[in-house]
C-alpha cells in the first residue's frame, strides 16, 4: 500500500480548522473528498499540524495511504482538479516510506504571524492579516520576545481547552521585524500548545503599543497563569509556513 507525502497550502477562512469535525467544513475533509473523487478510495488524511479555525497554511504536510499505486504527479494534479472550487492547493507530492508519518516524524514547525499596521483598514489583506491601527514598536516587541526562547512552562499562553499533557515547550526561534506597513512575527519549535502563537502574539502587541513593558511581558510568562495573558490575536494573520523533517526521512 503506497504512502504519499503531500505539501499543501490553504486559506483557512472557510474552514473550522484542519481537523475534520462532524457537520463542519474542514481542510482534512476536503482533501479526503478529493482523494476519493479521483481514486474511488475512502481514506484518512493525516496532517502535520492541526491548524485552528481561520488559520492559513503555506507549508502544511499530510500523508495518505492508497491501495493503488499512482504517479505522484497524477496524485497532485488529480487532487487539485477536484479542489478547484476551494482555496486549497496541493503544491507537491512524493512517495514516502511506510513508517514515515506527517505528524510524528516531524522535528519542527514554523509559523508566521502577519500584522497590518496602519491607520487604514485592510482591503486586499482582509482575513489574511491582523489589522492593528495603533503604531507598533517592532524593535520593542522583538526585544521582549527573546525571553520566550528555550524551555518554559507556557501555561500563560496556553488555551484553557488545550489537550497537551504538559504546558512545557521549547521555543527555538522568535523574531519580530517591520516590513513597511507589516509587522512580521516568526516562531519555530518542535510543537506548540493550542493557540500558543496567537496568545504570545497578542501579548507582544501589548508591548508594541506601549501598554506593556518588556518586564510586564516577562512577568506574564513567569506567572504561569492563563489570566496573565494579554488579548489573544485573531486567526487572520497566522500561517503554518513549514514543517521540518530529518534529511531523507520520507525516503
Catalytic residue numbers, as ranges: 52
Decide: 109 and 49 in contact? Cβ < 8 Å: yes
Contacts of 40 (CB under 8 A, 6+ apart): none
Decide: 219 and 112 in contact? Cβ < 8 Å: no
Cα–Cα distance, 206 to 217 (Å, whole number) = 9
In 88-213, which ranges are E strands?
88-96, 108-116, 130-131, 150-153, 168-179, 182-189
Contacts of 28 (CB under 8 A, 6+ apart): 18, 19, 20, 45, 47
Decide: 90 and 62 in contact? Cβ < 8 Å: no
Amino acid at each position: 500500500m503506497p504512502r504519499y507525502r503531500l505539501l499543501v497550502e490553504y486559506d483557512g477562512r472557510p474552514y473550522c480548522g484542519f481537523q475534520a469535525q462532524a457537520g463542519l467544513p474542514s481542510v482534512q475533509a476536503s482533501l479526503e473528498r478529493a482523494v476519493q473523487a479521483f481514486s474511488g478510495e475512502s481514506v484518512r488524511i493525516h496532517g502535520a499540524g492541526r491548524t485552528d479555525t481561520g488559520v492559513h497554511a503555506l507549508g502544511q504536510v499530510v500523508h495518505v495511504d492508497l491501495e493503488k499505486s499512482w504517479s505522484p504527479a497524477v496524485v497532485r494534479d488529480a487532487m487539485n482538479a477536484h479542489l478547484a472550487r476551494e482555496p486549497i492547493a496541493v503544491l507537491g507530492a512524493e512517495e514516502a516510506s511506510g513508517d514515515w508519518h506527517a505528524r510524528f516524524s516531524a522535528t519542527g514547525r514554523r509559523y508566521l504571524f502577519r500584522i497590518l499596521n496602519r491607520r487604514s483598514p485592510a482591503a486586499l489583506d482582509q482575513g489574511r492579516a491582523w489589522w492593528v491601527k495603533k503604531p507598533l514598536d517592532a524593535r520593542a516587541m522583538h526585544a521582549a520576545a527573546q525571553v520566550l526562547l528555550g524551555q518554559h512552562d507556557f501555561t500563560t499562553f496556553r488555551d484553557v481547552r488545550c489537550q497537551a499533557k504538559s504546558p512545557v515547550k521549547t521555543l527555538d526561534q522568535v523574531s519580530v521585524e517591520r516590513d513597511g506597513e507589516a509587522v512580521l512575527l516568526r516562531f519555530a519549535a518542535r510543537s506548540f500548545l493550542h493557540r500558543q502563537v496567537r496568545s504570545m502574539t497578542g501579548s507582544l502587541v501589548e508591548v508594541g503599543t506601549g501598554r506593556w513593558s518588556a518586564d510586564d511581558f516577562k512577568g506574564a510568562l513567569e506567572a504561569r497563569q492563563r489570566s496573565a495573558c494579554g488579548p489573544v490575536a485573531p486567526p487572520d494573520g497566522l500561517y503554518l509556513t513549514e514543517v521540518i523533517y530529518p534529511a531523507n526521512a520520507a525516503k
